[in-house]
Chains A and B, each alone.
Chain A
Amino acid sequence: MSEQRIGFAAAAAALMARDLRLALRRSGDTLQPLGFFLVVTTLFPLALDPELSRLRDIAPAALWVGALLSSLLALDRLFREDAQDGALEQLALCGWPFAGLLLAKTAVHWLLTGLPLVLIAPLAATALGAPYAAMPGILASLFLGTLALSLIGAVGAGLTMSLNRNGSLLALLVLPLAAPVLIFGARATALAIAGEPLAAPLYLLAALSVLGATLAPWALAAAVRIGLE
């Protein structure tokens, strides 16, 4: 290969800018998981009785199950269109580390689905009766947790991107792997609402995110390459 004109960082930045621009031109699609998250967290009080003291007990479960399901909802589109129109194939051939480029794509996916969810979570948490003092803890746990969810989910999306009927299969692949994130995230949120120290589950969530960011790109690159064959 001839000498590359730009470095990897510039290439990854260009890829991220492209993905962001594509997503913002279709803001309706991008906002759907967010609406889904709000609807799901609204349904919990309707299914239970709307007494705030009891809602507070189920608030961690509602927030985290909502976050898990809405992150799953957005995963299906993560690689599918790029695989169909050949863009992923070009990325695989372009000579820069494929794992790194896919990590950049996953980062964009988190910026578009994870981060908005973190930002809107205080609204849902307040509706579920969480005190304002708990907001920093809830935000921190969702911030770290959605990172890990995006990374785990991306591997599942890579494995199923070339299949036609993959909605429930993707859920079956990703949800068991996401169980630790759910456990530590919900625990951190519960501790935050109870006003107790929550450093331990936050550290574990951070460890899961770092582990995911370290290992997931390799599995992701292998999965996407197989999907492109």
Chain B
Amino acid sequence: MAWVWFHRFGSPPHFYRLATALTPWFGWAAALLCTAGLIGGLVLAPADYQQGDGFRIIYVHAPSAWLSLMVYVVMASSAAVGLVWRMNVAHAIAASCASIGASFTAVALVTGMLWGRRMWGTYWEWDPRLTSELLLLFLYLGYIGLRNAIDDTGRADRASAVLAIVGVVNVPIIHYSVTWWNSLHQAPSVMKFGKPTMVPSMLVPLLVMLGGFTALFFALLLIRARGEVLRRERNARWPVDVPGLTAHEA
């Protein structure tokens, strides 16, 4: 049957084994790509003719901003899967996404502010993209707050899943409304695929960093999701048989 793999994925022991096997792959990919991207971006790429070396913060800022959105989509998708198929593992993944996504959003905000300090002369400018990042952070905080406010895990899962789905419908609306609200600032010029306005020696490290941060996200997600699955399955028998898990207590 075509859907067997899908239902196997929903089984906590199976997911735990899969996540344990995949974590090092993502972890090493993240380490390699981030090292390569940082060398390429901070050493090899030429300084910008207007912004000097200040533009190099983009190699952390843009991947974080990209991930802050992607993590929200991953969170809402797995929350929807959990809601529709009542899949506990999917809820565990959504729960693990929230704080990672909030952290990436915070990193994107802080690096954006540092860049703004140099380019605009002020830490905070009501720039559309920074503002929608800030609202995204509030969405994450609301999700985490709702989850923490409900004691019963099952109900917290389903209620926060509804919130994540409502949020993911709203994220583009918020983004475009903020952009139209303040269209005085420069249009996004950094990441136009098709016709990039960056030279390849600047763009390639950025794409490498994007890949590295994405791998980092999946590595962190798997580690957190493993912990979350174990917490939810603390009364089950199968963790006892996982090699290495109970060795220290024995």
Contact = CB atoms under 8 A, between A and B. Distances in A.
* B and A form one assembly: yes
Given A166-B149, A183-B178, A226 B158 contact: yes
A173 interface: yes
A160 interface: yes
Instruction: Pick the 6 closest A-B CB pairs, nearest first.
Output: A180-B177, A176-B138, A173-B142, A183-B181, A172-B142, A226-B158
B174 interface: yes
The residue among B145, B159, B162 with the most chain A CB atoms within 10 A of its own CB is B162
Interface residues of A, number: 27
Interface of A: 155, 159-160, 163, 165-166, 169, 172-173, 175-177, 179-180, 183-184, 187, 204, 208, 211, 215, 219, 222-223, 226-227, 229
Given A169-B145, A183-B178, A222 B162 contact: yes
Nearest to B154: A229
B135 A176 contact: yes
Interface residues of B, number: 26
Contacts of A229: 155
A65 to B, nearest CB: 15
B170 interface: yes
Given A160-B146, A165-B149, A215-B169, A176 B162 contact: no
Nearest to B160: A159
B158 A173 contact: no
B202 to A, nearest CB: 33
Nearest to A207: B173
Interface of B: 83, 135, 138-139, 141-142, 145-146, 149-150, 155, 158-159, 162-163, 165-167, 169-170, 173-174, 177-178, 180-181
Given A187-B181, A222-B162, A223-B162, A177 B170 contact: yes
7 contacts: A159-B159, A159-B162, A169-B146, A173-B145, A177-B166, A204-B177, A222-B158
A155 B166 contact: yes
B166 to A, nearest CB: 5
